[in-house]
Amino acid sequence: MFYTQSNQKTDVLATGLNGLVGSKLTASLDQYNFANIDRADPQFPVDITNIDQVKAAFAKSSSKVVIHLAAFTDVTKAWEQKGDKSAIAWQVNVLGTQNIITAAKETGKHLIHISTAYVFDGDNSEMYTEDDQPRPIEWYGQTKYEAEQLIKQSDINWTILRIDQPFRSDPFVKLDTAHRIIEGIKSGKLYPQFTDHFFGPTFIDDFVTVIDFFIRTQTQGLFHASSGEMWSDFDFALLLNQALNLGGEIKSGSLDEYLKSLNRPYQKNTALNCEKLKQILDFKLTPIGEAVKKISF
């Protein structure tokens, strides 16, 4: 909801605050007075693909930063739109981001943009660093990569934070990476977990504190902001099963086999090296082994 309050809290403008990550941000950072750019707001609806609405929302806000979380995040549906720049994935992720850049420039706001490890092709055997060259292999990753490029080519102040497979301690209406596995174990319907697919889980409870760091410091540049750890699906499921005493049976599977039946490309490894971020943070990220113990379901 778009709102302002006359209290002593610092105003922070953002997009996507009703989503998986954004709703944790507002629930956790009580020191800020968040204003959400929200297309469902009854009084002041703002669709980020509408430049006039975006400009009006920015003009209303005294925030020095804008946190840009809003995106079309359904990777499978995005693949069905491959190459179609008039379809929603491109419109929201690329045109929408261009509108945010334009309004940030007009109002002098620092842009904190949330991006994804899916900008990479997934062929690395190691964790990806900020120096690795992106090469998206599917349409969602392509649109998020194009958005990054627009920001890098702009002359505004910016931070790009890439994350991968986020999960939070509490359940949310959209199941995250951890809660999807937990639900699968509990219902006895968990698919075999890949031993040959790797990712870098992002503990959202930590990530919102990372975002707070960038609100406070407005440090510029590109940062990988997951846990800095690399897990296979199978090992992560085993960890959840054990840490949360779920008592399920985790069967192993192979991504290579699954890919034979999948009609879209799938990155084999999206784990992110976070050393650049860890060197500047004024707090320590929670190891994934500890983070999963905080999960409720």
Ligand X SMILES: NC(=O)c1ccc[n+]([C@@H]2O[C@H](COP(=O)([O-])OP(=O)(O)OC[C@H]3O[C@@H](n4cnc5c(N)ncnc54)[C@H](OP(=O)(O)O)[C@@H]3O)[C@@H](O)[C@H]2O)c1
Could you list the residues that contact ligand X (CB under 6 A)?
15-16, 18-22, 37, 39-40, 47-49, 69-73, 92, 96, 114, 116, 144, 163-166, 174
Q: How far is the CB of 88 from ligand X (least distance, A)?
A: 8
Q: How far is the CB of 114 from ligand X (least distance, A)?
A: 4
253-260 contacts: CB < 8 A, separation 24 or more? 253/191, 253/192, 253/193, 253/194, 253/195, 254/194, 254/195, 254/196, 255/194, 255/196, 255/197, 256/196, 258/194
Residue (143 or 193) nearer to ligand X, CB: 143
Q: How far is the CB of 75 from ligand X (least distance, A)?
A: 8
Q: How far is the CB of 123 from ligand X (least distance, A)?
A: 19
**Residues 35, 61 contacting (CB under 8 angstroms):** yes
Tokens of 199: 């990712």
Q: How far is the CB of 115 from ligand X (least distance, A)?
A: 7
Q: How far is the CB of 104 from ligand X (least distance, A)?
A: 15
Q: What is the DSSP letter of 182?
A: H
Residue (174 or 251) nearer to ligand X, CB: 174
Closest to 69 (Cα-Cα) out of 144, 8, 139: 144
Q: How far is the CB of 63 from ligand X (least distance, A)?
A: 17
**Residues 297, 182 contacting (CB under 8 angstroms):** yes
Residue (69 or 181) nearer to ligand X, CB: 69
Closest to 99 (Cα-Cα) out of 87, 119, 113: 113
Residue (7 or 214) nearer to ligand X, CB: 214
**Residue 83: exposed, middle, or buried by beta-carbon count in 10 A (0-12, 13-18, 19+)?**
exposed
Residue (72 or 120) nearer to ligand X, CB: 72
Residue (167 or 234) nearer to ligand X, CB: 167
Q: What is the DSSP letter of 24?
A: H
The side-by-side arrangement of strands in the sheet containing 221-224 is 32-37, 10-15, 65-68, 110-116, 158-163, 221-224
Residue (143 or 232) nearer to ligand X, CB: 143
Q: How far is the CB of 249 from ligand X (least distance, A)?
A: 26
Amino acid in position 171: P
Residue (191 or 242) nearer to ligand X, CB: 191
- Please identify the residue of the shown chain whose CB is closest to the bound ligand X: 19
Residue whose pair of structure tokens reads 């690395």 in the numeric block: 124
CA dist., res. 140 & res. 120, Å (int): 11
